[in-house]
Amino acid sequence: MVQDLDTAALADIGGFFALRTGRPPRAARPLTEAYALVPGGSDPLAVRVGLVTRRIGAPEARVAVSLVQLGLAARIWSLHLGAAVLHGALPDLDPARVRWDPEAATGEDLWVAEARLLPADPEAVDRAVRGRHLDPLAAVLHRRYGLAEGLLHGNSGSALAGALREVDRWAHRTGRPEAAARARALGDALFADPLLAATGHREGTAFRRRSCCLYYRVPGGGVCGDCCFTRPPGTAGPGPVRGS
């Protein structure tokens, strides 16, 4: 039965599990506009990439592109996984209904007028996340910015593994072993897909990806906790590690 999403309980899992409801900021745009190939630099995706490039001092746009995609993937996986674990259902995040503000300080925040739930199973989760969101976004980023498909898929796998890890931590912190078990089962089913399975190696909640998100190229950046590199390429020492 369709029901309302408990957004407060969802946000309690972690920051990426927050979904905003009600009136979005005036600058917020439908996610469908970010998933379309719009010419020029006024579309929301180009605006976000430009802002992040300047903010982090990226030496090239593709570094910011990767981090923008990784952030959105983490938010979208988290919202669907969290709802599936808490409710056994999915939030109805039709890209045409979801609003995104590319100029916001936290560019991954998403708004919906109302948070409704739909029935779910692992196949429905995959269709909702990759079919509705991540595959169209990756296609645009590959065609517009030339990012390798392996990197984009790797970001998706990394975001999924990170969301599963956060659910597991929350479940153990709050004494919810049944939620941890549901998250593990859902993660196993999702990573059984050959494309996601190829993105990295899983062992329990740990994940080591087979690609790099390019964070090491940010000035002062290092490698992420699940990176394929043990230190930034071209360095002699281990270098800083971004939290996983």
The domain in which residue 84 lies consists of: 7-236
Q: Which SS3 state, helix, strand or coil, does residue 196 take?
A: helix
Task: Specify if 2 maps to a domain.
Answer: no
Task: Specify if 49 maps to a domain.
Answer: yes
Q: What is the pLDDT of residue 221?
A: 86
Q: What is the pLDDT of residue 114?
A: 85
Question: What is the C-alpha separation between 71 and 107, in angstroms, rounded?
Answer: 8
Instruction: Report the amino acid identity of residue 244.
Output: S
Q: Quick one: which H or E segment has residue 177?
A: helix 177-191
**What are the residues facing 91 on neighbouring strands?**
117
Q: What pTM was computed for the model?
A: 0.92
pLDDT digits (tens, 9 = 90+) for 5-35: 899 999 999 999 999 988 898 889 999 999 9
Q: What is the pLDDT of residue 237?
A: 53
Q: How many domains does the chain have?
A: 1
Q: What is the pLDDT of residue 2?
A: 43
The DSSP result for 186-219, as a single string, is: HHHHHHTSHHHHTTEEEETTEEEESS--SGGGST
Task: Specify if 101 maps to a domain.
Answer: yes
pLDDT digits (tens, 9 = 90+) for 139-164: 999 999 999 999 999 999 999 999 99
Task: Specify if 148 maps to a domain.
Answer: yes
Task: Specify if 210 maps to a domain.
Answer: yes
Q: What is the pLDDT of residue 241?
A: 54
Q: What is the pLDDT of residue 14?
A: 95
Q: Low-confidence residues of the chain, pLDDT below 70?
A: 1-3, 38-42, 235-244
